[in-house]
Structure 1
């Protein structure tokens, strides 16, 4: 059934994943005349609620700190149970329960609970990632780590060793894989892989590195993709920037040896296209941009297998990108195109759309030229998209003193969404023929 089990580690990853799950929820169809192109069994698991009703919930395990879940409860409307602590206590005396002041529900969640049209979300109304959540999670998916508190000023969860020590202590006491992950893995008939969403520039990087060691020991041949989210650097003091860079470097070094593919994701410090309005201080906005790229580039893993032309799996894509066997770190780029404009005869005058710089997207990977007409740094035949989420500012690749430094592309996977012309161009046919005959070594471009 090609199941994928997801691991969410930390606040950054939960913002990212929540957008992802909301998108998957939007693919559901409920009319007999309409069929979704998505195979929902890949990411969702069937179950039975406390009242005997059938449920359909994400195959995911969510870790976050105390206070990080906001208004999200471990027990939801589909799994209501007796939560009275005194009823299950072995203490013969009278139990005294101390409750922390609960977090008030957002207007968006209240509207969903009452069945009313929810209000429009804004950066001021989204306080936690659960404030814009539209799906129910299984109680086994919610794992709160009470050893640290979100946004604590006394002991912030941001240093690498904190994540390593936290995982070591929890795994020694509970065996996290057996307790949290194995129930979801054993439900899968033919699991195609694991996807891990985590922060890599804070203590969650150390937590993820130790978790990956255990995953690789347990699932030696299973494809494991890691999406490493990072907070924007702008406005941070120098000491904190340096600490985040050190955490990221250690995370990439550790994950590179364990994961099948590692995709670091960061907001570019260069200006975004004028067509894109984004508040860099809002994790809700930033994670939405990340998810737009992540969801599109992995769409083929959950398409129905009846459409063999487009459906694939994590293992196949790993082989296409990792051409020499040791290239496990991949860049993620994207372009948000405008809708095709109809011509006078009714046909699509621009079937491929324009990106934020007003360029035809297909022409970018036909010619390999940048906006100024010069070589863009990647080889001819590869795409040059206008939003680079791989944080090239770490190496100053875009500065004048490094402009001559070209980034070599070994293999590239292009995912086009919308009404696109899928027929290969003359340029692409030439590249394929030359590669097949061994006359010239070109980067491998897969669509």
Structure 2
């Protein structure tokens, strides 16, 4: 079935992943206005006459609830600190059973029960549980990622780390080494791989890969690095896509900014060499397009935007095996990692303004195309061997949101203007209702550049059942990665202790070399 197991590490990853799971499936309300309106928000289909384009078995696992009823829950592990789950309970309505009554004759004396006050459900969650239409979400009403969650999780997916508390000033979970030490301690006591991950891996028929989402500029980077070590020891040949989340640095004090950059440098040095693909992900540093309104201080808003780019880019990995429409994790790796050691990729996105809610109507010409097959299916693979570099450069400028971390002011001082990046490998995914076909195109030019294009159905809008978004994403390996790594190398020389500075700097230098133009046998230097 080519299953994908997801690991969510920390608050930021859980905000993003909650949007991801909500996009896959919507919990049904008791009295929808119509069958079409009730389920138009998700990829799931509930009619025997209609088959979804998405193979839900890839990300979801069948099971049995406490009452023997069939369940369908995400193949995911959710790690968070104490207090980070909000009102979400480990045992939900699908698996809840009556608690056994403790015999009263075990203790004759008085008992005193001390219980921490439970976090109350949001009005949104209360409405979902009652089967009524929930109120609109706002930045004020979303206190935790569980406040807008629409999915039931299996109890073994919920892993709370009680050693640290969310938002604690006394024991902040910020330093990379703190996360590393926490994982080592828990793994020594419990063997986390055996306790948490193994059951998901063993029930998979043919595991396509593991998708890890974690912050890299705080303690979760250290936790993820050691987790990656254990996974690689056990599943050495499994494709692992790592999404590394970073906060913006513009409004952060100088000392904390250097601390975050040092954490990021350690994460890249430790995680990137072991990942199949490593994708840094942060809010765009430049002004967002006018059609996007995001509150940068709201993790709910930020998570929604980041989820859109992640969900779109990975969509081909969960499509059904119809007419070659699926593109696995391994296929994406082969497109991006052309020379064998270029696995850090830059991701960008653009949204079709004609598909934005309250925007213009879509082209009638495109909507009325006649097809002899399912119009939702991607088209047959098409290949071209002659795409000129200038065409590639123009297409690189199509994407008006860049989620690759930008250098800080201190790092960019005195640097010369950067020339047009040299692209080693690129994969693009386009999705829109007016273009319900898939175009897959690989181009290998003189510089070894490869590009893959895919087109598929539009992104469902969770709170608007009348439309979906046309989204374009690009994932590429190019020379700007070298600049980013060298900037971190410069930071290491000022923010990291002497005892580990040299080793970390050398590691980053080796990584950066793979993304310099002409790295492979000087292929471009001979063009003149």
Q: Is TM more than 0.5 here? A: yes
Residues 22-421 of structure 1: pairs in structure 2 closer than 5 A: 22-25=22-25, 26-83=42-99, 96-308=112-324, 310-339=325-354, 346-348=364-366, 379=393, 382=396, 384-394=398-408, 402-418=416-432, 419-420=434-435
Stretches of structure 1 lacking an aligned partner (at least 5 in a row): 352-365, 370-374
TM-score in terms of structure 2 length: 0.73
Asked if structure 1 preserves the Cα contact closer than 8 Å seen for 2:3 and 2:59, the reply is: yes
Shift in CA distance, 398/113, structure 1 to aligned 2, threshold 3 Å:
farther
Shift in CA distance, 323/82, structure 1 to aligned 2, threshold 3 Å:
same
Deviations 1:196-234 (A, max 9, x none): 011111100000000000000000000001111122334
Asked if structure 1 preserves the Cα contact closer than 8 Å seen for 2:354 and 2:361, the reply is: no
- Distance of 1:182 and 1:61 partners within structure 2: 11
Asked if structure 2 preserves the Cα contact closer than 8 Å seen for 1:8 and 1:63, the reply is: yes
Matched, 1:18 2:18: yes
Comparing 406-415 and 107-116, the one that deviates more = 406-415
**Secondary structure of the equivalent of 1:64?**
strand
What is the aligned residue count?
413
Deviations 1:332-372 (A, max 9, x none): 1001112276799x5249x9xxxxxxxxxxxxxx8988xxx
- Distance of 1:343 and 1:275 partners within structure 2: 16
**Secondary structure of the equivalent of 1:50?**
coil
Shift in CA distance, 110/421, structure 1 to aligned 2, threshold 3 Å:
closer
**Secondary structure of the equivalent of 1:318?**
helix
- Distance of 1:287 and 1:298 partners within structure 2: 16
**Aligned Cα RMSD in Å?**
2.9
- Distance of 1:404 and 1:207 partners within structure 2: 34
**Secondary structure of the equivalent of 2:346?**
coil
- Distance of 1:422 and 1:45 partners within structure 2: 28
Stretches of structure 2 lacking an aligned partner (at least 5 in a row): 26-41, 370-386, 454-528
